[in-house]
């Protein structure tokens, strides 16, 4: 357990509203990731960060933005939520040896 | 780009039987390979990983996997299944940096 918390754990929102998910880590890991998990797709990378204010896009970044103003916090924002963004979102961190540690997940439902 | 194929979205075994979960990968660079387990309503937990060195890797809870470069495979095995092994298992391949690709997952059911 790498001390990763995610908030909120569950959220229901309406189409068109902005949503921000938070990931907080206590291990001082440099790298942080946001994934979404959907049946039949496993986990797919949305965005990642390799340091404060340093971020890059992943495989499924459209409709999402991220920010990292502190080492311990990595925020994922859905600018205008759509039903296709209903999913379970996982945050992960990585040490230098490539192993990733995962948070407990946030279940997001967009109505 | 890298990719992972997990053969069989659902696998069912009897308690005490061999567990075999199949994973094949594609990678243009020497791969780092991982197996993760996910219990209901939880995040992913690392079972084992292959980076370099010995091709037979032992993990937690009695699981092991063998890296076979010639077959581009990294199958997960356990000699004797327990009820507590029921979960979803994900194979993943990484390039050693920030590109980690996951398979679609295999749900393991253990029958009493």
Report the Cα A97 to chain-centroid distance in Å: 21
pLDDT of residue B52: 86
The 10s digit of each residue's pLDDT in A34-53 is 999 998 888 999 999 999 99
- Beta carbons of B43 and A102 less than 8 Å apart: yes
% of chain A surpassing 90 pLDDT:
87
Mean pLDDT of A46-74: 95
Q: How confident is the model at residue A2 (pLDDT cuts 50, 70, 90)?
A: low
Give the residue from A70, A71, A65, A59 showing the smallest Cα distance to A19: A65
Spatial separation of the C-alpha atoms in residues B21 and B77, rounded to whole Å? 6
Whether A98 sits inside 8 A of B46 (CB atoms) is no
B97, B5, B107, A105: CA torsion to nearest 10: 30
In this complex, which of B46, B90, B99 lies closest to A99 when CB atoms are compared?
A: B46
- DSSP strand pairing (A106-110 vs A10-13): parallel
Which range, of A83-87, B19-23, B38-42, averages the lowest pLDDT? B38-42
Among A7, A68, A98, A104, which would you mutate to test the B interface (most chain B Cβ atoms within 10 Å of its Cβ)?
A: A98
Measured CA to CA, the distance from residue B6 to residue B1 in angstroms comes to 17
Chain B, nearest residue to A38 by Cα? B104
pLDDT(B66) > 70:
yes
% of chain B surpassing 90 pLDDT: 79
A43 interfaces chain B, CB cutoff of 8 Å: yes
The answer to whether A56 faces chain B, any CB pair under 8 Å, is yes
* DSSP character string of chain A: ---EEEE-SEEEE-TT--EEEEEEESS--SEEEEEEEETTTEEEEEEEEEETTEEEE-TT-TTEEEEEEETTEEEEEESS--GGG-EEEEEEEE-TTS-EEE---EEEEE-
Q: What is the DSSP letter of B72?
A: T
> Which residue in the block uniquely carries the two structure tokens 């308690």?
B15
Report residue A25 as tokens.
Answer: 């880590």
Mean pLDDT, to the nearest integer, of A81-95?
95
What per-residue confidence (pLDDT) applies to A97? 64
Binned at pLDDT 50, 70 and 90, residue B7 comes out as: very high
Give the tens place of pLDDT for each residue, B69-110: 999 999 999 999 999 999 999 999 998 777 889 999 999 999
């Amino acid at each position: 357990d790498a001390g990763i918390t995610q908030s909120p754990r569950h959220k229901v929102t309406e189409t068109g509203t902005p949503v921000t998910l938070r990931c907080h880590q206590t291990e001082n890991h440099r790298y942080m990731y946001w994934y979404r998990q959907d049946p039949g797709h496993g986990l797919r990378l949305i965005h990642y960060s390799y340091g404060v204010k340093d971020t890059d896009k992943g495989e499924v970044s459209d409709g999402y933005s991220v920010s990292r103003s502190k080492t311990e916090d990595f925020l994922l924002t859905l600018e205008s939520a759509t039903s296709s963004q209903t999913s379970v979102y996982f945050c992960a961190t990585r040490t230098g040896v490539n192993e990733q540690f995962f948070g407990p997940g946030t279940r997001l439902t967009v109505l | 780009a890298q990719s992972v194929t997990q053969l069989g979205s659902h696998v069912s075994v009897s308690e005490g039987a061999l567990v075999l979960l199949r994973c094949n990968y594609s990678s243009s660079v020497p791969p780092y390979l991982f197996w993760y387990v996910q219990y209901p309503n939880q995040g992913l937990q690392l079972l084992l990983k292959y980076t370099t060195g010995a091709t037979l890797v032992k993990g937690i809870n009695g699981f092991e996997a063998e890296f076979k470069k010639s077959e581009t495979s990294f199958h997960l095995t356990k000699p004797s299944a327990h009820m507590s092994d029921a979960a979803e298992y994900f194979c993943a391949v990484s390039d050693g940096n920030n590109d980690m690709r996951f398979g679609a997952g295999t749900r393991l059911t253990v029958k009493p």
